Amino acid sequence: MPYPQLDPAKIRVRPLAERKSKSAIADILIDPEQPPKPAPQLQPLLAGLPPPEKIVLHYLNGKVEVELFLGHAFFENGEALRRAETTLAERLKMHTTVRSISLNCMIAPN
């Protein structure tokens, strides 16, 4: 099946200086000296956890898989870790976008 033909007469072009941006730099600027902030959509899921040192998101087949890197001290407290695992598992059952969350500890960051 052939592709529909593009009509060059229907293409509208404007100089960049005349275009309005859909985002402001202040909205997307990230300070590398500050710890990462979870996306607002993740905050209800991650409530009660210490601030992550690093967050990695993977988008696969319409779902998000989250890798959280937390401080070593969090993993030294076995009870806190078990509570976090149980709480996250319960919260994920009702979440429509996030498929999984893995809790990781950085021993020696490179």
Q: What pLDDT, on a 0 to 100 scale, did the predictor assign at position 87?
A: 92
**Domains defined along the chain, listed by start:** 36-110 (3.30.70)
How much is the pLDDT for 109?
A: 59
Per-residue pLDDT reduced to its tens digit, 67-77:
999 888 888 88
Q: What number is the average pLDDT over the span 40-52?
A: 87
DSSP per-residue letters across 20-88: PPSS-HHHH---TTSPP---TTTHHHHTTSPPPSEEEEEEETTEEEEEEEE-HHHHH-HHHHHHHHHHH
Q: Which pLDDT belongs to residue 81?
A: 87
pLDDT at 1: 64
Q: What is the mean pLDDT of the chain?
A: 84
Residue 103: what pLDDT? 92
pLDDT value, residue 66: 93
Cα 54 from chain centre? 10
**Model confidence pLDDT, tens digit, residues 48-102:** 898 888 889 999 888 899 999 988 888 888 888 899 999 999 999 988 889 999 9
Q: Which residues pair with 67 in a beta bridge?
A: 56, 102
Q: Are 64 and 98 in contact (CB under 8 A)?
A: yes
Residue 39 has pLDDT above 80, yes or no: no
